[in-house]
Amino acid sequence: MTDPILSLKDAALSLNGNAGRIDILHGITLDVRPKETLALVGPSGSGKSSLLMLMGGLERATSGTISALGRDLTALDEDALARFRRDHMGVVFQSFHLIPTMTALENVATPLELAGDRNAFARAADELANVGLSHRAEHYPAQLSGGEQQRVALARAAAPRPDILLADEPTGNLDETNGAAIMDLLLDLRDQYGSTLVLVTHATDLANRCDRVIRLRDGRIAETPAQDAAE
């Protein structure tokens, strides 16, 4: 059995809000194997996004441990965690999160430049070609459709060849046709680069294209047979 690429042991997340402490995730124990594609499903508010943020080192667990590629994320300081994310994680969000003042090409090139890639713009152009958007390289996000913006966001996330791709309802703002096209692309990028993929989705058909489905309920993993996939 190969070592898991992601391993959570009894991970919990609580946040301190105005109304006091809110417990968001409880006792999450979960291993993800290298190159596995995992779907996270569950009702709105069940903790899917929070769990994805823990896996990506974007939120810190309140207790328990989270390791990625054998590194204990809970032991890293902020700088080390930021470097780890840069070197190993790609994240895609429902609302694209492109920088509005940058062209498509600049959006993809910027993280490569920050990582010290001297050929960032040439690489970014290749990545845009890979998602079929060469003809939109000089366009700004506001000049692109939702499906095109998400393709730019996928190119940006995949460009540094992350070991782990995390996608939080990447098709949630798209119609069915564009959503299916984004899912095809996400699975293509996974295959091309051998990434592990964790996908949050509400769509049963998309969840069923993953190797395994985990259902959350009230911040815990629910024991559910895999065929009963999504909401």
Ligand X SMILES: Nc1ncnc2c1ncn2[C@@H]1O[C@H](COP(=O)(O)OP(=O)(O)O)[C@@H](O)[C@H]1O
Report the residue number whose CB is nearest to Mg ion: 49
CB atoms within 10 A of CB 66: 23
Q: How far is the CB of 215 from ligand X (least distance, A)?
A: 11
- Contacting residues for 12 by C-beta, under 8 A, at least 6 apart: 23, 25, 26, 27, 28, 61, 62, 63, 64
Q: Is 150 in the site for Mg ion (CB under 5 A)?
A: no
Which entry of ligand X, Mg ion, none binds 47, CB below 5 to 8 A by partner kind?
ligand X
Q: How far is the CB of 136 from ligand X (least distance, A)?
A: 30
Q: Is 24 in the site for ligand X (CB under 6 A)?
A: yes
Q: Is 49 in the site for Mg ion (CB under 5 A)?
A: yes
Which entry of Mg ion, ligand X, none binds 17, CB below 5 to 8 A by partner kind?
ligand X
User: Taking contact as CB under 5 A, which single stretch among the options 49-57, 102-110, 159-167, 188-196 is the one that binds Mg ion?
Assistant: 49-57
Helix or strand or coil: residue 33?
coil
Of the pair 7, 49, the CB lying nearest Mg ion is at: 49
Which residues, numbered 31-70, are part of the site for ligand X (CB under 6 A)? Answer: 42, 44-50
User: Taking contact as CB under 5 A, which single stretch among the options 17-25, 48-56, 57-65, 184-192 is the one that binds Mg ion?
Assistant: 48-56
Q: Are 152 and 104 in contact (CB under 8 A)?
A: yes
Q: Are 128 and 155 in contact (CB under 8 A)?
A: yes
DSSP strands (E only) in 57-105? 63-68, 71-72, 89-92
Which pairs with CB-CB distance under 8 Å and at least 24 residues apart come from 141-145?
141/96, 141/98, 141/99, 141/100, 141/102, 141/104, 141/107, 142/100, 144/104, 145/178
Q: Is 201 in the site for ligand X (CB under 6 A)?
A: no
Q: Residues in the site for Mg ion, rule: CB under 5 A?
A: 49
Q: Residues in the site for ligand X, rule: CB under 6 A?
A: 15, 17, 22, 24, 42, 44-50
